Each structure stands twice: as structure tokens, then as C-alpha cells.
Structure 1
Amino acid sequence: MEWLVSKTGSFLNSTAAVFDHVIQVSTGLEATLSPAAIRVVKTIMGNDVLSAGFFLMILGSFYTFFRDLIVQYYYEVVSWFYVSVEVEEGDDCYRWLSDWVAERPLTTSVRHLTVKATWDDEREEGGYYQSTRGDERPRLVFIPGKGRHILYHKGYKINVSRERPEQAASADSEQSRLLASIQKKQCLTISTFGWDISRLKTIVLDAMEESYKKKQGKTTIYTTQPYDSYWSNSSTRVPRAFHSVILSDGLKAELLEDIMTFRGSSQWYHDRGVPYRRGYLLHGPPGTGKTSFIIALAGHLDMSVCIVNLGISGLNDQQLDQLLNNAPRNSILLMEDVDAALVKRKAGKAQGGTNNVTLSGILNALDGITAQEGSVVFMTTNHIRKLAPALIRPGRCDRKLLFDYADEHQIRGMFLKFFLSRSAETGLAVNEPVDPRSYTRKTDNKTTSTSPSEAAAQKEALLKTQGRKEEFDAMIHRLADEITTKLSYKDTITTAQLQGFFMLHRDNPDTILDKIPEFLEELRREREALSKKKSQRKERMAKKKSKEEAKEKKAKEDKERRRAAGEEVESSADEEEEEDDENDSDSFSDSDYYDEVTSISQTLKGLDKDMKEEKKEVKEEKANGFAHAEPGAAPAV
């Protein structure tokens, strides 16, 4: 130990002497360094503790440099003997491979995992789990976290590497979140030993097949997150029965026939040079089944649904165009409440938000040069008059369909849907008739015929049940007629309100007639409360507007007075922003925009008519002047 200390001390002393000698003999260094810096260096080299720390710092730097260099060259050499596949987040392959890796057992050496709770119906055992307490528990999915992991598949080793980009230091501001969205996406890399790439291709194909197998017979919902320009699989649900959506008589069949004709006419569109796209606008009061119909239609046609949120933070025209063009094939693009989205955009702009979607950007994304061929776009709105005419013209919205309050056909259909399929005792469906002759008794996995006496008794019981069911169905039809008469169209009832009312009394259809007056009274009170709330809001907005106008008027008067006095007056930022808002042609949040455009058009037509009449009168006056002029006299002008 003493020998090591002495050797270290002698080495440090010799190093200090060398540095001192170099400083003294090097004229160039003497000229470069100031006298104070030279004294500091001499002080460090003359102190054993400081010189030892300086030496250890240099030694550590050399160690870190050579270690990273060796590790880098090691992986460079090893990579020559491996084949790999890399995929970035946002691609469909990323989701396929992530699910594929999550379902494979990892080695016990894995220390970093990412856990995710899903509410899918499928469980790890392949069946369905329902607790005895009636609450459904989520399925926990463990995915390899950041770093390198190892799993075994079909006898060979698979290396899985997940790289996650570092987030910005401060993600509180809009600028930081926008910067984070521009950074590199998360990557997933799988590799295996050898030069045979077919193994990895097989893994990717297996992952894709497993993913599509899980989605078979289900409706996939795609959404997007703030500041992202790619689709993410939000949920997968059992498709809603198409017959369960009750619309006005003929409307559902008309829409279904139209979209099926479009999907089978791609060659017809291409032969005639017509863009192969179809747009629908569903408008009407809220709660009339617009979104429900679209989801049921997607399930009926075995299509996915991509929900486009135009009011999401960080969305701009370029990202919107990328989203619509990269939408999964065989999917419906759904833009809900487009009128509210444009209003929110203007409000967000006033509050300093980062939503930069413009009307021109929406129009170009729908039918621009880069618009996706074969796309089916549905837009919904509660106020069609708030939309710009350019947005709903043919070519962008080929069909405009009104989803109004429930009519007699919908009231009757919804009532029968809720109560006709339930039997008084057995709960048998009306559309599933029972044939007593085909009755057999199942015992475990065997099916055995009953004895003649048992068969006769069972046949008699079934006939009685069938008779009771027919009586029950007849009663339901009579109730449907009476309820349809009482819940008339003039009461402005939405299908959502009807559904809530029927669900509340689903176990007592015979008493539902007595509850109708109470239901209508409740709706009347709700409408009055809503109307009162709207009027109060209008009053508050009017007061606020009057205060702002008074404030602006006072500010203008002060400026005029200062200008009259010869003082210099600078234009405020509020005035510039107000001018920008006035010149912003893509903001259509004013509900009277359409009326204003119509009135301007009518005014122009009136002016044109007046000018034509004036020209006509001038011509008549000239003609009369020439006709009555005396010979040699000048014509009347």
C-alpha cells in the first residue's frame, strides 16, 4: 500500500514538473495565457490533492471515451451477424408487433416492463371474464419497456429493442408539446441471429394475421391524439345491429343503397374521370341518431371508423391532410359537429391556442389533389346554417340528409324493438318460431329423443307458450298504436329521449301508457329550462358586448381627443387583431353568416335589376326623342 502511494505521489510530482516545465519553456503558451492563468495552473500542479483530482478527471474521460468506442464497435461487428426489422410508432406494423410481443413469454431477465389496462372482452385464457360481483375487470397487458429484451419463438431467440425518444424538459407550454411532437417517434426493433430475413417476415405476417383475426366481426374505432399526425387504435367493439337503428321511413334503406352503389362503382368513376369519393352531411337536432347510425352502418358493411376531431390542440392543415390521406382503407371518416369545431377554433385562437386548421385546409383535405381515392366521409352538425357554403357544396357533401325529431314511424319502431322481442314468461324472440316436432332433449354431449308421452306433454306446453307469446305480441302492437298516437311528432321528441323513456320502463310495458303525461311534462320542463338558460346566456353576452363597445368607444374618443391635441397615437395590438379577425375569411362561427351572404346576393341581384330597368328607360327616352323631334331640330337627350 505504501509502495502504491509513493509511486502515485512520484507520478503526480513528475507530472506537475512536466507541466511547469512546459509552461516555462513554451514561449507560445506564455504569450497565449495571461499571468493570472499561469499562476492558477502552477497552483493546481503544486497541490497534491488538486493535481490528483485533475489526473483522475483526465483518466475518467479517457475511460468513458474508450468504453463507448468499444461498445459501439462491438455492436457494429455483432450487427453483421444479425438481421433486424425496425418500425416506428404510428404505423400499423408497430401495433401488430407490439401486440405480438406482449402475448409471448419473455425471459426472466426482463426488468423493465410497460403495463397497460384494456377493457376488451377477450381475456388471456381466451374466454370471457365476469366477476360474481357484477363488475368487469380489465385485462392487464405487459409490454417490454425501454431497452433490449429477449424472447424465444419456435426454438430460436428473438431480440426485441424498444427506443423511446426523450421528452422535452418542460411540457407545460404549447411550444414544448409541439416540439415534442416533432421529435423522433418511438421505435420497435426485432432481430435474430443469422442472415435469413424470412424468419422476421414470417413474424410480421403472423402478427398481422393475429391482429386481423381479433378484429374479425368487430368494428374498429381509430382516433388521434393532440400533436400527432397518425391514427391510433382507440377501441374495438362488437358491431351494433343495423336493424336496431330506427330512422324515418325509407331513410336508412336509401342511405344504405347509396353507399353500397358507390363502393361497387370504382371502375365507373375512373372511366368517366370523376373523383372516386363520396361525402355525406347528416344534420339535425342533437340526439336524433346521427352518430349511432354511422357506427351501425360501419358494422353492417364491415368497415372501420376514423373519428377526426377538428378542435384538437396542435392540429394544422398539413397534419389534417396527412391524417385523411393516411386513413386505414375500408374505413369511414367521421367529422362530428363541424360547426362547433370551427367555433372552438376561433375561440382557441383568441385565447392563444395552437389549433391552426383553416377552412381552406379542410376543403383541400376533402377533395384536393392529394385527397384519398375511395374515401367515404360523414360530417355531422346540429346547425347547418352555420356552415360555409363551400364546405357543403356537391363534390364535398354529395348527400345532405335531415335527422329530425322522432316521427310516428320511429316511435312505433322503437317501441316494438324494445318490447316485442320479449315474451311474457319465456323471453323467446318473435322472429325465432319454435317447431314442436323438432324438439329434442340434450344430455351433456348427446342428443336423445324423448318418449311419445313426454313428447306429447312437451308439445302441449310449447303450444301453450306459443299462444301466450302471440297474445303478448298482440298486446304490444295495440300499445304501440296508442303510444304512437300520444307521442305525436309535434312534441319534438328525439330518439335518444325515447330510448331513455323505454329503457326506464322496459320491464313494465303495460304501465307505460300511464307514464306518458309525466314524461311529456318532464320534457317540457327541460325545454323551458334550456330556453331560459339560453336567454340568460344571450343577456350576459349582450351585456358583455355592450360593455366592450362602450369601452372601445371611450378608447376611440380618447384617441381622437389626443390626435386633436397633436399627440402621437399608436395603434394597439387589439385593433390589429380585430382587423385580422375581420379579414379572416375562413372563420364561420357567426350563425347569421349564411343569411348575410344570402342578403348580399339578393342586394346584388336587385342592383342588377335596377340597372337594367334604368338602361331600358334611357333607351325608351332616346327613342321617343328621335320620334317626336321636329325636322332640323336636335334630338332630345
Structure 2
Amino acid sequence: MEKLQALFYDTLSQNPYFNAGAGLFGMGLGISILKKSAQIGNMIIRRNFTLTLEVASHDKAYPWVLSWITQKAISKNRNWLTRGAGQHLSVDTNVVRSESGRIFAEFQFIPSTGIHYLYHNNRIIKVERVRASQTLQGASTAPFESVTLTTIGRDRKLFSSLLEEARSTALSKEEGWTPVYKAVGHEWRPFGFPRRKRPLNSVVLARGVAEDLVGDLSDFLDNQEWYIKRGIPYRRGYLLYGPPGCGKSSFISAVAGHFDLSLCVLSLSEIGMSSDRLDHLLTHAPMQSIVVLEDIDVAVPGRDSLQMDSSIGSDNGKSDPLIYKFNSILNFDPFVSHVAATNPYAGMRNLTLSGLLNALDGVTSSEGRILFMTTNFIDRLDSALVRPGRVDRVVKVDLCDREQVARLFSRFYPHHSDMQEHPMAQTFASIIGDTTASAAQIQGYLLMHKERPDVALEDAEAFLTALRTHKVTR
């Protein structure tokens, strides 16, 4: 038996194929052990000696972090120790609005998706940008993205200070401006350029209306603890109603600027709006924002359609050149008005009244929310929609009274009439009268005579005639 074993071993040891195979096996085993050891070592190092922060695109801090990374790349290119960044770039288009209001674009090249290294506060930070090609966020068409930051160390204060710096940098760019968000799918996205903050005194409402609403909202914002201690849901709802063009939307914009809040504008009539989507959007609205539901009456299915006023002439005022001039400037089109009026619920498909009510004050409704709703036809709203708890204040924003007309005239010509008691402003107000014109109509008329208050006063009678004959749209 021993001789057979010795013969077997001798035969194998002298077989070149076996020796080669054994060598390859040993080499593979060694490489496998080294690779596994490296993986274990890398895992131990990452768990015990590195700090990682992942920011997903659906997180509110994601645009702040991305903007901060972009700013670092723009301001100090030496901070980027990128691998292959010279060949793989993304373009960051920065649209800038000058003090004069002109808009121009700046193009900056930054590292694209992939792995890069950033030097910040004496630390090397690994930056990995990942963009999924197919994964979608809810009903949005935007691909999922994430940014992962990794550095050596265990002190979380580095990332805390980084996030705070990113937040401060982003908010500083919005100083003096009101950000506007629109709903895209199940998320809120910035819409266009931020609007310059509108002063409250630029919106001329009836005496005391603006002051009362601003005081109420200020009291709400300053008394969160009061609501919490008494178990009252911390949210506030306002309904502004009245004829079109009287300043409802303008006032909401001015309020947002006054309290440094952003605007989240939500259209309930858009195709695809459902009860679940509305609930999700109201719950996940950006912090420190006002949610605006304009023309809330279109959210109530089954209401009678708005009918066209039969007194509107089919010639659109062309028989009177002066009246036609007013109609042209104020952009009045009876046909377009009729289409919009007779089908105010176009696009409404999946949103029900009960779904809207639950989103406003149901079990899942969010707290800390400020909601403004507007309507031109309050009589078309269901009584359940405007009950206390859903709507805390109902305010009528009506056509201008004489005092408002005089204030509007004085604002347009401050060098000609420093006070509303100026005879020219009072004369203009007496001609227009009470509840005859909206603020938008008067503003449109005065814009025709920006530097000529005398001409504005001279043509006021013709303007009033156009209003009374319904040739100028309300």
C-alpha cells in the first residue's frame, strides 16, 4: 500500500500539467484571499475611520448641497482634485438678474456624475454624484439622483457645518426675492425666476383690509407654542374672494415677501390631480412657505358653469376707437373669456370634494401650514369647504372705492400729487366713483399715461364710459 502511495505521489510530482494546475490554483487562492482581505479591511476602515453623508434628490437640502458644490467648483477650481474631470463635464447655467432687471446667463463647467475629490477645510472629501437612468420619483419624470460625501474622521460637525454653509449660501441668494414653486408630479420644484419682493403698500386694498390680514398672520407665526399647548392644529387658512383683478394674488405675493416666505402655487384643475397627490403635496410643501390654491371654485365638481355676460358686444368695442384702445391694452377678448367661462372645470378628473376637504384638515393634513385660497365666485363654493378649521378668515377683495382710486392715482404720480387729498387725485376718484373698476383696470389705464396725469384725468370720462358699457373686461 505504501509503495502504491509513493508511486502515485511520484507520478503526480513528475506530471507537468498537474504542477501547472496546482500552481494556478494556489495563485488563484492567494489572490482570492488577498481580495477578500482587502474588502474586509476596506469595510473595517470605512466603518471605523470614515464618515459618509448621502443626500438624495427628494431631500429639501439636496439643491442646497448641489449649489454649494457648484459654487466651490466655480470659485476655486484648485479645490477639485478630480479624476477624469477634464474630460467628463456638466454645464451649470446660472441665470442672473441685474439690478436693472435685465437677465443674462453664465455658463460654468463642473465635474459630471461620477467620483471626484474636493478639498475643504483641510479635509479631502470624496464626492460621488449618481443619477439613475430609469428610477423615477413618484409620478415625476425626473430621474433619481444622490450626492454622497465621504471623508476620513468621525466628527459629524464637519458635515453639520457644511450643510449649514450650504443652506446659508442658498438662502442668501434669495434675499430680496420671493421663490416660487410649482408642483411637478409628487414634488415641488422652483418655477422660473424668484420674484422681487413686492412691498405691501404697493397693493392698494380697501382701508384696513391689508393691515388686518397682516396682523392676523403675524400673530399666527409668533404663537406656535400657544397652539401646541392647547392641542389646536397649527395651521391657518384664508379665503380671498371678489371680482378678478382686484388684487387677491398680488396681495398674497406681497404677504410672502413681507414675512420672507416662499410661494407654492398649486393648480387643482390640472390633468392628473388626484386626492392622494394633493394630500401628498400639501403635506410636503417647502418649509416657510405659503400654499396658494387659486380659483378654488374649479375644485368643486358639479357646479354650474360661469356664463358669458350677454351685454358684452361682439365687436369688442371696435365701433368706438377710444374704447377699443382700452380693450386692446387691457387684453380683452370676448371669445377667449367665453371659452374660459363656460368650461372652468377643464382638466378636473380625479380630485373629489371629499379628497380636497380631507387634504385641508384631515388626519394626515400637515401642521405649520399657511394656506391662501382665492375665488371669483364664493357662492359656488360648498359650505363644507369654507367652514372654520379649513378657512379661518374669509375676506372680500372688492372693486375699488373712491379712496382706493385716489391712492392708486397718487402712487402713479408721486411728484405730481404727494398726498391722496391732492385735487387731481380726488377729481379722478370722483369721476371713476365707487365699485366701478378693479385695481387692475385702473392700473392698466394709468399705465397708458405714466408721465401725463393731466391726460389721464382728461380721458377718465371715456374710460368710465367703457367700464359702464362693459367694453373693458372685469
TM-score using structure 1 length = 0.55
Matches within 5 A, 1:494-505: 494-505=438-449
Q: Are residue 317 (structure 1) and residue 275 (structure 2) matched?
A: yes
Among candidates 349, 359, 363, match of residue 353 of structure 2? 359
Question: How far did 1:94 drift?
Answer: 0.2
Among candidates 88, 91, 111, match of residue 115 of structure 1? 91
1:394-446 superposed Cα distances (whole Å, 9 cap, x missing partner): 211122111111111110111111112x36xxxxxxxxxxxxxxxxxxxxxxx
Matched residue of 1:192: which SS? strand
Aligned match of 2:208: 250
Unaligned 5+ segments in structure 2 are: 1-31, 302-342
**CA spacing shift, 1:75–1:220, aligned 2, 3 Å:** farther
**CA spacing shift, 1:520–1:368, aligned 2, 3 Å:** same
Q: Which amino acid aligns with 2:150?
A: S
| Separation in 1, partners of 2:165, 2:420 | 55
Matches within 5 A, 1:379-528: 379-420=373-414, 422=415, 473=418, 477-489=422-434, 492-523=436-467, 527-528=470-471
- Does the 8 A contact of 1:219 with 1:298 survive in 2? yes
Among candidates 204, 215, 224, match of residue 174 of structure 2? 215
Which has the larger strand fraction? 2
Q: How many residues align?
A: 389
- Does the 8 A contact of 1:339 with 1:381 survive in 2? yes
1:606-636 superposed Cα distances (whole Å, 9 cap, x missing partner): xxxxxxxxxxxxxxxxxxxxxxxxxxxxxxx
Unaligned 5+ segments in structure 1 are: 1-65, 122-127, 169-176, 350-354, 424-471, 532-637
Among candidates 165, 182, 185, match of residue 144 of structure 2? 185
Matched residue of 2:358: which SS? helix
Aligned match of 1:32: none
Q: Are residue 98 (structure 1) and residue 66 (structure 2) matched?
A: yes
| Separation in 2, partners of 1:310, 1:75 | 55
| Separation in 1, partners of 2:99, 2:397 | 39
| Separation in 2, partners of 1:129, 1:241 | 17
**CA spacing shift, 1:475–1:222, aligned 2, 3 Å:** closer
Question: How far did 1:183 drift?
Answer: 8.9
Matched residue of 1:167: which SS? strand
Aligned match of 1:159: 126
- Does the 8 A contact of 2:269 with 2:346 survive in 1? no
Question: How far did 1:497 drift?
Answer: 1.3
Matched residue of 2:253: which SS? helix
- Does the 8 A contact of 1:276 with 1:375 survive in 2? yes
- Does the 8 A contact of 1:336 with 1:379 survive in 2? yes
Matched residue of 1:390: which SS? coil
| Separation in 1, partners of 2:344, 2:215 | 35
- Does the 8 A contact of 1:283 with 1:383 survive in 2? yes
1:448-478 superposed Cα distances (whole Å, 9 cap, x missing partner): xxxxxxxxxxxxxxxxxxxxxxxx6489811
- Does the 8 A contact of 1:165 with 1:183 survive in 2? no
Aligned match of 1:146: 113
- Does the 8 A contact of 1:83 with 1:195 survive in 2? yes
Question: How far did 1:159 drift?
Answer: 2.3
- Does the 8 A contact of 2:178 with 2:196 survive in 1? yes
- Does the 8 A contact of 2:116 with 2:127 survive in 1? yes
**CA spacing shift, 1:518–1:182, aligned 2, 3 Å:** closer
Question: How far did 1:242 drift?
Answer: 0.9
| Separation in 1, partners of 2:438, 2:42 | 66
Q: Which amino acid aligns with 1:515?
A: D
Matched residue of 2:280: which SS? helix
Q: Which amino acid aligns with 2:123?
A: Y
Aligned match of 1:289: 247
**CA spacing shift, 1:151–1:273, aligned 2, 3 Å:** closer
| Separation in 2, partners of 1:529, 1:75 | 78
- Does the 8 A contact of 2:269 with 2:345 survive in 1? no
Q: Which amino acid aligns with 1:148?
A: I
Which has the larger helix fraction? 1
Aligned match of 2:258: 300
Matches within 5 A, 1:520-539: 520-523=464-467, 527-528=470-471
Q: Which amino acid aligns with 1:504?
A: M
Q: Which amino acid aligns with 1:398?
A: D
Matched residue of 1:417: which SS? helix
**CA spacing shift, 1:339–1:394, aligned 2, 3 Å:** same
| Separation in 2, partners of 1:190, 1:143 | 16
**CA spacing shift, 1:248–1:511, aligned 2, 3 Å:** same
| Separation in 2, partners of 1:141, 1:296 | 34
- Mean alpha-carbon deviation: is it higher for 509-518 or for 291-300? 509-518
Matched residue of 1:164: which SS? strand
Question: How far did 1:494 drift?
Answer: 1.1
Q: Are residue 89 (structure 1) and residue 57 (structure 2) matched?
A: yes
Q: Are residue 329 (structure 1) and residue 287 (structure 2) matched?
A: yes
| Separation in 2, partners of 1:474, 1:183 | 53
Question: How far did 1:229 drift?
Answer: 3.1
| Separation in 2, partners of 1:191, 1:233 | 32
| Separation in 2, partners of 1:282, 1:326 | 24
- Does the 8 A contact of 2:466 with 2:472 survive in 1? no
Question: How far did 1:90 drift?
Answer: 2.6
Question: How far did 1:233 drift?
Answer: 6.7
Matched residue of 1:138: which SS? strand
* Percent identical: 36
Q: Which amino acid aligns with 2:54?
A: E
| Separation in 2, partners of 1:228, 1:399 | 29
Matched residue of 1:400: which SS? strand
**CA spacing shift, 1:393–1:94, aligned 2, 3 Å:** same
| Separation in 1, partners of 2:383, 2:420 | 50
| Separation in 2, partners of 1:304, 1:276 | 18
Question: How far did 1:523 drift?
Answer: 4.4
Question: How far did 1:112 drift?
Answer: 3.7
Larger radius of gyration: 1
Question: How far did 1:271 drift?
Answer: 4.3
Q: Which amino acid aligns with 1:479?
A: M
Taking only aligned residues, the RMSD between alpha carbons, in angstroms, comes to 3.4
Question: How far did 1:485 drift?
Answer: 0.9
- Does the 8 A contact of 2:181 with 2:189 survive in 1? yes
- Greater relative contact order (Cα 8 A, min sep 6): structure 1 or 2? 2
- Does the 8 A contact of 1:120 with 1:236 survive in 2? no
Q: Which amino acid aligns with 1:348?
A: G
- Does the 8 A contact of 2:186 with 2:280 survive in 1? no
- Does the 8 A contact of 2:57 with 2:144 survive in 1? yes
Matched residue of 1:489: which SS? coil
Question: How far did 1:275 drift?
Answer: 2.8
